[in-house]
A and B are shown apart, each in its own frame.
Chain A
Amino acid sequence: MLVFALKRLGLVVLVTLTVSLLSFSLLFMSGDPASAIAGENASASDIEAIRTLYGFDRPFLVQYGDWLSGALRGDFGQSYYFKLPVSTLIADRLSVTMLLGVCGISFALLTAVPLGVVAAMRPNSFIDRAALFLSVMGQAMPSFWFGLVLIVIFSIQLNWLPPSGSSGWQNFIMPTVVLGYYAMPAIMRLTRAGMLEVLGADYIRTARAKGASEMRVMFKHALRNAIVPVVSLAAVQMGFMLGGSIVVESIFALHGAGYLAWESIARNDLPTVQALILIFSCFYIIFTFLSDLANAWLDPRIRVG
Protein backbone atom coordinates (compact mmCIF):
# COMPACT_ATOMS: atom_id res chain seq x y z
CA MET A 1 0.00 0.00 0.00
CA LEU A 2 2.76 2.41 0.96
CA VAL A 3 4.67 1.66 -2.24
CA PHE A 4 1.53 2.20 -4.26
CA ALA A 5 0.85 5.49 -2.50
CA LEU A 6 4.41 6.69 -3.03
CA LYS A 7 4.36 5.79 -6.72
CA ARG A 8 1.12 7.67 -7.13
CA LEU A 9 2.51 10.61 -5.21
CA GLY A 10 5.48 10.72 -7.56
CA LEU A 11 3.10 10.89 -10.51
CA VAL A 12 1.09 13.60 -8.79
CA VAL A 13 4.21 15.74 -8.33
CA LEU A 14 5.26 15.28 -11.96
CA VAL A 15 1.81 16.10 -13.31
CA THR A 16 1.59 19.16 -11.10
CA LEU A 17 4.97 20.39 -12.29
CA THR A 18 4.00 19.94 -15.93
CA VAL A 19 0.71 21.74 -15.45
CA SER A 20 2.48 24.57 -13.70
CA LEU A 21 4.93 24.89 -16.58
CA LEU A 22 2.08 24.98 -19.09
CA SER A 23 0.09 27.56 -17.19
CA PHE A 24 3.18 29.68 -16.69
CA SER A 25 3.95 29.69 -20.40
CA LEU A 26 0.52 31.28 -21.03
CA LEU A 27 2.06 34.55 -19.93
CA PHE A 28 4.53 34.43 -22.77
CA MET A 29 1.96 33.53 -25.39
CA SER A 30 0.21 36.80 -24.83
CA GLY A 31 2.83 39.26 -25.96
CA ASP A 32 4.53 41.77 -23.77
CA PRO A 33 3.49 41.44 -20.12
CA ALA A 34 5.35 44.64 -19.27
CA SER A 35 3.09 46.71 -21.50
CA ALA A 36 0.05 45.08 -19.98
CA ILE A 37 1.14 46.07 -16.47
CA ALA A 38 2.24 49.54 -17.45
CA GLY A 39 -1.27 50.46 -18.46
CA GLU A 40 -2.79 53.28 -20.36
CA ASN A 41 -0.39 56.17 -20.13
CA ALA A 42 2.94 54.43 -20.06
CA SER A 43 5.79 55.56 -22.25
CA ALA A 44 8.36 53.24 -23.77
CA SER A 45 10.80 53.98 -20.94
CA ASP A 46 8.12 53.22 -18.32
CA ILE A 47 7.57 49.87 -19.95
CA GLU A 48 11.31 49.21 -20.00
CA ALA A 49 11.52 50.06 -16.30
CA ILE A 50 8.69 47.67 -15.51
CA ARG A 51 10.35 44.96 -17.57
CA THR A 52 13.44 45.14 -15.40
CA LEU A 53 11.48 45.63 -12.20
CA TYR A 54 9.43 42.48 -12.76
CA GLY A 55 12.39 40.66 -14.28
CA PHE A 56 10.79 39.94 -17.66
CA ASP A 57 14.21 40.39 -19.26
CA ARG A 58 15.53 37.20 -17.67
CA PRO A 59 15.53 33.77 -19.38
CA PHE A 60 12.20 31.95 -19.39
CA LEU A 61 13.25 29.07 -17.17
CA VAL A 62 14.72 31.38 -14.55
CA GLN A 63 11.45 33.26 -14.38
CA TYR A 64 9.52 30.01 -14.20
CA GLY A 65 11.71 28.78 -11.36
CA ASP A 66 11.12 32.01 -9.52
CA TRP A 67 7.40 31.85 -10.01
CA LEU A 68 7.24 28.21 -8.99
CA SER A 69 9.20 28.69 -5.81
CA GLY A 70 6.88 31.58 -4.99
CA ALA A 71 3.85 29.46 -5.80
CA LEU A 72 5.08 26.72 -3.45
CA ARG A 73 5.11 29.29 -0.69
CA GLY A 74 1.63 30.43 -1.70
CA ASP A 75 2.92 33.58 -3.39
CA PHE A 76 1.58 33.93 -6.92
CA GLY A 77 2.75 37.47 -7.47
CA GLN A 78 0.63 40.59 -7.84
CA SER A 79 -2.55 40.95 -9.81
CA TYR A 80 -1.97 43.39 -12.69
CA TYR A 81 -5.44 44.73 -12.23
CA PHE A 82 -6.07 44.95 -8.51
CA LYS A 83 -2.41 45.49 -7.57
CA LEU A 84 -3.05 43.10 -4.69
CA PRO A 85 -1.36 39.75 -4.04
CA VAL A 86 -3.02 37.09 -6.19
CA SER A 87 -3.12 34.70 -3.24
CA THR A 88 -5.20 37.17 -1.20
CA LEU A 89 -7.62 37.63 -4.06
CA ILE A 90 -8.05 33.92 -4.64
CA ALA A 91 -8.28 32.99 -0.98
CA ASP A 92 -11.05 35.53 -0.71
CA ARG A 93 -13.08 33.93 -3.50
CA LEU A 94 -12.22 30.27 -3.25
CA SER A 95 -14.66 29.64 -0.40
CA VAL A 96 -17.63 30.42 -2.64
CA THR A 97 -16.39 28.05 -5.33
CA MET A 98 -15.64 25.29 -2.84
CA LEU A 99 -19.04 25.65 -1.26
CA LEU A 100 -20.63 25.54 -4.69
CA GLY A 101 -18.60 22.45 -5.61
CA VAL A 102 -19.59 20.63 -2.42
CA CYS A 103 -23.26 21.55 -2.86
CA GLY A 104 -23.15 20.56 -6.52
CA ILE A 105 -21.61 17.17 -5.96
CA SER A 106 -23.90 16.47 -3.01
CA PHE A 107 -26.91 17.34 -5.12
CA ALA A 108 -25.63 15.10 -7.91
CA LEU A 109 -25.02 12.18 -5.55
CA LEU A 110 -28.28 12.58 -3.67
CA THR A 111 -30.30 12.48 -6.86
CA ALA A 112 -28.20 10.18 -9.03
CA VAL A 113 -27.52 7.35 -6.59
CA PRO A 114 -31.15 6.69 -5.53
CA LEU A 115 -32.25 7.00 -9.16
CA GLY A 116 -29.54 4.61 -10.26
CA VAL A 117 -30.52 2.09 -7.59
CA VAL A 118 -34.21 2.25 -8.40
CA ALA A 119 -33.48 1.99 -12.11
CA ALA A 120 -31.35 -1.09 -11.55
CA MET A 121 -34.05 -2.73 -9.41
CA ARG A 122 -36.47 -2.62 -12.31
CA PRO A 123 -34.46 -2.65 -15.53
CA ASN A 124 -36.42 -1.44 -18.56
CA SER A 125 -39.33 -0.37 -16.39
CA PHE A 126 -40.93 3.05 -16.67
CA ILE A 127 -38.74 4.37 -13.87
CA ASP A 128 -35.59 3.03 -15.50
CA ARG A 129 -36.47 4.77 -18.72
CA ALA A 130 -37.36 7.96 -16.91
CA ALA A 131 -34.00 7.93 -15.14
CA LEU A 132 -32.22 7.31 -18.41
CA PHE A 133 -34.19 10.12 -20.02
CA LEU A 134 -33.21 12.51 -17.23
CA SER A 135 -29.57 11.62 -17.64
CA VAL A 136 -29.66 11.98 -21.42
CA MET A 137 -31.29 15.38 -20.98
CA GLY A 138 -28.62 16.38 -18.48
CA GLN A 139 -25.88 15.56 -20.91
CA ALA A 140 -27.40 17.55 -23.74
CA MET A 141 -28.54 20.61 -21.82
CA PRO A 142 -26.10 23.52 -22.19
CA SER A 143 -25.54 24.52 -18.57
CA PHE A 144 -25.45 28.25 -19.29
CA TRP A 145 -28.81 27.98 -20.99
CA PHE A 146 -30.29 25.88 -18.20
CA GLY A 147 -29.13 28.54 -15.74
CA LEU A 148 -30.82 31.33 -17.69
CA VAL A 149 -34.04 29.35 -17.91
CA LEU A 150 -34.02 28.79 -14.14
CA ILE A 151 -33.50 32.51 -13.56
CA VAL A 152 -36.43 33.38 -15.82
CA ILE A 153 -38.70 30.89 -14.04
CA PHE A 154 -37.70 31.06 -10.39
CA SER A 155 -36.46 34.63 -10.05
CA ILE A 156 -38.58 36.56 -12.49
CA GLN A 157 -41.84 34.65 -12.88
CA LEU A 158 -42.16 33.19 -9.41
CA ASN A 159 -39.82 35.51 -7.50
CA TRP A 160 -38.79 32.68 -5.19
CA LEU A 161 -35.03 32.85 -5.46
CA PRO A 162 -32.50 35.69 -5.82
CA PRO A 163 -30.94 35.70 -9.29
CA SER A 164 -27.43 36.69 -8.25
CA GLY A 165 -25.02 37.19 -5.40
CA SER A 166 -23.59 34.94 -2.72
CA SER A 167 -24.90 36.35 0.53
CA GLY A 168 -27.32 33.65 1.68
CA TRP A 169 -28.18 29.99 1.20
CA GLN A 170 -30.97 30.91 -1.22
CA ASN A 171 -28.34 32.21 -3.63
CA PHE A 172 -26.83 28.75 -3.94
CA ILE A 173 -29.93 26.76 -4.86
CA MET A 174 -30.04 27.43 -8.61
CA PRO A 175 -26.25 27.28 -9.14
CA THR A 176 -26.19 24.00 -7.22
CA VAL A 177 -28.88 22.49 -9.40
CA VAL A 178 -27.20 23.63 -12.60
CA LEU A 179 -23.76 22.44 -11.58
CA GLY A 180 -25.07 19.22 -10.03
CA TYR A 181 -27.19 18.33 -13.02
CA TYR A 182 -24.06 18.48 -15.12
CA ALA A 183 -22.42 15.75 -13.03
CA MET A 184 -25.53 13.69 -12.43
CA PRO A 185 -25.82 11.59 -15.63
CA ALA A 186 -22.43 9.93 -15.33
CA ILE A 187 -22.98 9.07 -11.66
CA MET A 188 -26.46 7.76 -12.32
CA ARG A 189 -25.29 5.49 -15.13
CA LEU A 190 -22.39 4.16 -13.14
CA THR A 191 -24.59 3.45 -10.12
CA ARG A 192 -27.10 1.64 -12.31
CA ALA A 193 -24.47 -0.43 -14.09
CA GLY A 194 -22.71 -1.27 -10.82
CA MET A 195 -25.97 -2.29 -9.17
CA LEU A 196 -26.96 -4.48 -12.11
CA GLU A 197 -23.65 -6.26 -11.93
CA VAL A 198 -23.73 -6.69 -8.16
CA LEU A 199 -27.35 -7.84 -8.14
CA GLY A 200 -26.37 -10.77 -10.32
CA ALA A 201 -23.72 -11.89 -7.85
CA ASP A 202 -24.05 -15.02 -5.68
CA TYR A 203 -24.02 -13.35 -2.31
CA ILE A 204 -27.06 -11.26 -3.19
CA ARG A 205 -28.93 -14.39 -4.13
CA THR A 206 -27.83 -15.89 -0.86
CA ALA A 207 -29.04 -12.85 1.04
CA ARG A 208 -32.37 -13.01 -0.74
CA ALA A 209 -32.61 -16.71 -0.12
CA LYS A 210 -32.05 -16.11 3.58
CA GLY A 211 -35.15 -13.96 3.45
CA ALA A 212 -33.61 -10.52 3.86
CA SER A 213 -36.02 -7.75 2.92
CA GLU A 214 -35.64 -6.21 -0.54
CA MET A 215 -34.65 -2.83 0.92
CA ARG A 216 -32.06 -4.47 3.09
CA VAL A 217 -30.66 -6.38 0.15
CA MET A 218 -30.50 -3.30 -1.98
CA PHE A 219 -28.99 -0.83 0.40
CA LYS A 220 -27.09 -3.02 2.87
CA HIS A 221 -25.57 -5.54 0.53
CA ALA A 222 -25.71 -4.38 -3.06
CA LEU A 223 -25.19 -0.63 -2.85
CA ARG A 224 -22.27 -1.00 -0.51
CA ASN A 225 -20.37 -2.82 -3.22
CA ALA A 226 -21.64 -0.85 -6.16
CA ILE A 227 -20.82 2.48 -4.55
CA VAL A 228 -17.03 2.13 -4.62
CA PRO A 229 -16.49 3.19 -8.24
CA VAL A 230 -19.20 5.83 -7.81
CA VAL A 231 -17.27 7.47 -5.00
CA SER A 232 -14.14 7.66 -7.09
CA LEU A 233 -16.09 9.02 -10.04
CA ALA A 234 -17.63 11.60 -7.73
CA ALA A 235 -14.18 12.69 -6.61
CA VAL A 236 -13.10 13.13 -10.22
CA GLN A 237 -16.32 14.97 -11.07
CA MET A 238 -15.75 17.26 -8.12
CA GLY A 239 -12.41 18.23 -9.60
CA PHE A 240 -14.06 18.87 -12.97
CA MET A 241 -16.81 20.87 -11.36
CA LEU A 242 -14.51 23.34 -9.68
CA GLY A 243 -13.01 24.05 -13.08
CA GLY A 244 -16.44 24.11 -14.70
CA SER A 245 -18.00 26.49 -12.21
CA ILE A 246 -16.71 29.37 -14.32
CA VAL A 247 -19.86 29.33 -16.46
CA VAL A 248 -22.25 28.92 -13.55
CA GLU A 249 -20.58 31.62 -11.48
CA SER A 250 -20.68 34.08 -14.33
CA ILE A 251 -24.40 33.54 -14.90
CA PHE A 252 -25.37 33.90 -11.26
CA ALA A 253 -22.77 36.61 -10.54
CA LEU A 254 -21.34 34.51 -7.72
CA HIS A 255 -18.08 36.13 -6.77
CA GLY A 256 -16.13 32.91 -6.68
CA ALA A 257 -12.83 31.79 -8.13
CA GLY A 258 -14.38 30.75 -11.46
CA TYR A 259 -15.89 34.16 -11.93
CA LEU A 260 -12.59 35.75 -10.95
CA ALA A 261 -10.93 33.60 -13.60
CA TRP A 262 -13.32 34.75 -16.29
CA GLU A 263 -12.95 38.40 -15.36
CA SER A 264 -9.18 38.08 -15.13
CA ILE A 265 -9.02 36.55 -18.58
CA ALA A 266 -11.08 39.44 -19.92
CA ARG A 267 -8.79 41.91 -18.17
CA ASN A 268 -5.57 40.25 -19.30
CA ASP A 269 -4.64 39.78 -15.65
CA LEU A 270 -2.34 36.86 -16.32
CA PRO A 271 -0.83 36.22 -12.89
CA THR A 272 -4.33 35.61 -11.57
CA VAL A 273 -5.24 33.38 -14.52
CA GLN A 274 -2.06 31.33 -14.16
CA ALA A 275 -2.58 30.85 -10.45
CA LEU A 276 -6.21 29.82 -10.94
CA ILE A 277 -5.37 27.29 -13.64
CA LEU A 278 -2.74 25.80 -11.36
CA ILE A 279 -5.04 25.76 -8.35
CA PHE A 280 -7.95 24.18 -10.20
CA SER A 281 -5.56 21.60 -11.62
CA CYS A 282 -4.25 20.85 -8.17
CA PHE A 283 -7.78 20.29 -6.90
CA TYR A 284 -8.37 17.80 -9.65
CA ILE A 285 -5.04 16.10 -9.01
CA ILE A 286 -5.65 15.89 -5.27
CA PHE A 287 -9.16 14.54 -5.66
CA THR A 288 -8.09 11.85 -8.12
CA PHE A 289 -5.13 10.95 -5.91
CA LEU A 290 -7.40 10.55 -2.90
CA SER A 291 -9.88 8.49 -4.86
CA ASP A 292 -7.08 6.28 -6.18
CA LEU A 293 -5.94 5.71 -2.62
CA ALA A 294 -9.46 5.01 -1.46
CA ASN A 295 -9.97 2.55 -4.28
CA ALA A 296 -6.74 0.78 -3.56
CA TRP A 297 -7.68 0.60 0.09
CA LEU A 298 -11.08 -0.91 -0.71
CA ASP A 299 -9.97 -3.13 -3.55
CA PRO A 300 -6.61 -4.81 -2.97
CA ARG A 301 -6.38 -6.00 -6.60
CA ILE A 302 -5.57 -2.46 -7.74
CA ARG A 303 -2.64 -2.16 -5.39
CA VAL A 304 -0.87 -5.08 -6.97
CA GLY A 305 -1.50 -4.06 -10.55
Chain B
Amino acid sequence: MRASHKFKVYEFADEAMSDAPSVSRDEVRADICRRLDPFRTDARPITGATVITKDLNIDSLAVMDMVMELEDTYDISIPLNVVAEIHTVDELTDTVLKIRGER
Protein backbone atom coordinates (compact mmCIF):
# COMPACT_ATOMS: atom_id res chain seq x y z
CA MET B 1 0.00 0.00 0.00
CA ARG B 2 3.00 2.29 0.19
CA ALA B 3 4.99 3.86 -2.59
CA SER B 4 7.10 0.78 -3.24
CA HIS B 5 3.98 -1.20 -4.01
CA LYS B 6 3.58 0.45 -7.39
CA PHE B 7 6.77 -1.11 -8.69
CA LYS B 8 5.47 -4.53 -7.79
CA VAL B 9 2.29 -3.88 -9.70
CA TYR B 10 4.30 -2.51 -12.59
CA GLU B 11 6.61 -5.50 -12.81
CA PHE B 12 3.98 -8.19 -12.47
CA ALA B 13 1.33 -6.36 -14.39
CA ASP B 14 -1.06 -9.11 -15.45
CA GLU B 15 -0.93 -11.14 -12.27
CA ALA B 16 -1.40 -8.05 -10.16
CA MET B 17 -4.48 -7.08 -12.14
CA SER B 18 -6.24 -10.40 -11.67
CA ASP B 19 -5.00 -11.21 -8.19
CA ALA B 20 -5.38 -7.74 -6.72
CA PRO B 21 -6.60 -8.22 -3.16
CA SER B 22 -9.90 -6.60 -2.41
CA VAL B 23 -9.88 -3.56 -0.19
CA SER B 24 -12.63 -2.35 2.04
CA ARG B 25 -14.16 1.10 2.00
CA ASP B 26 -12.73 1.71 5.48
CA GLU B 27 -9.23 0.80 4.33
CA VAL B 28 -9.33 3.13 1.34
CA ARG B 29 -10.80 5.95 3.42
CA ALA B 30 -8.15 5.48 6.11
CA ASP B 31 -5.45 5.51 3.44
CA ILE B 32 -6.73 8.77 1.96
CA CYS B 33 -7.05 10.37 5.40
CA ARG B 34 -3.48 9.39 6.17
CA ARG B 35 -2.25 10.96 2.92
CA LEU B 36 -4.16 14.15 3.64
CA ASP B 37 -3.05 14.43 7.25
CA PRO B 38 -0.11 16.79 6.53
CA PHE B 39 -2.59 19.31 5.11
CA ARG B 40 -4.78 19.65 8.23
CA THR B 41 -5.37 23.22 9.34
CA ASP B 42 -6.32 22.43 12.93
CA ALA B 43 -6.55 19.61 15.44
CA ARG B 44 -9.79 18.24 13.98
CA PRO B 45 -9.21 14.80 12.48
CA ILE B 46 -9.91 14.23 8.80
CA THR B 47 -13.11 12.27 8.24
CA GLY B 48 -15.15 11.06 5.30
CA ALA B 49 -17.05 14.35 5.35
CA THR B 50 -13.93 16.53 5.09
CA VAL B 51 -14.13 18.75 2.02
CA ILE B 52 -10.66 18.32 0.55
CA THR B 53 -9.96 21.68 -1.03
CA LYS B 54 -11.99 23.70 1.47
CA ASP B 55 -11.31 22.24 4.92
CA LEU B 56 -7.63 21.55 4.30
CA ASN B 57 -4.66 23.69 3.39
CA ILE B 58 -4.03 21.88 0.10
CA ASP B 59 -3.79 23.25 -3.43
CA SER B 60 -5.10 21.59 -6.56
CA LEU B 61 -1.62 20.49 -7.58
CA ALA B 62 -1.09 18.59 -4.33
CA VAL B 63 -4.52 16.99 -4.75
CA MET B 64 -3.56 15.85 -8.24
CA ASP B 65 -0.27 14.48 -6.90
CA MET B 66 -2.10 12.49 -4.24
CA VAL B 67 -4.46 11.14 -6.87
CA MET B 68 -1.45 9.96 -8.85
CA GLU B 69 -0.28 8.01 -5.78
CA LEU B 70 -3.74 6.48 -5.37
CA GLU B 71 -3.67 5.41 -9.02
CA ASP B 72 -0.47 3.47 -8.40
CA THR B 73 -1.51 2.03 -5.06
CA TYR B 74 -4.82 0.68 -6.36
CA ASP B 75 -3.66 0.15 -9.96
CA ILE B 76 -6.44 2.22 -11.46
CA SER B 77 -6.84 5.26 -13.71
CA ILE B 78 -8.41 8.27 -12.04
CA PRO B 79 -8.87 10.89 -14.79
CA LEU B 80 -8.39 14.56 -13.87
CA ASN B 81 -11.85 15.16 -15.29
CA VAL B 82 -13.22 12.94 -12.51
CA VAL B 83 -11.05 14.53 -9.83
CA ALA B 84 -12.55 17.90 -10.67
CA GLU B 85 -15.99 16.63 -9.57
CA ILE B 86 -14.81 15.25 -6.23
CA HIS B 87 -15.24 17.30 -3.06
CA THR B 88 -15.14 15.10 0.04
CA VAL B 89 -12.94 12.29 1.27
CA ASP B 90 -15.91 9.92 1.01
CA GLU B 91 -16.49 10.89 -2.62
CA LEU B 92 -12.85 10.19 -3.41
CA THR B 93 -13.04 6.89 -1.52
CA ASP B 94 -16.10 5.82 -3.47
CA THR B 95 -14.51 6.86 -6.74
CA VAL B 96 -11.49 4.66 -6.03
CA LEU B 97 -13.73 1.71 -5.18
CA LYS B 98 -15.99 2.27 -8.16
CA ILE B 99 -13.13 2.43 -10.66
CA ARG B 100 -11.49 -0.60 -9.05
CA GLY B 101 -14.74 -2.51 -9.37
CA GLU B 102 -15.02 -1.68 -13.04
CA ARG B 103 -11.55 -2.88 -13.81
The reply to whether chain A is a binding partner of chain B is no
Chain B residues in the interface with A (C-beta under 8 A): none
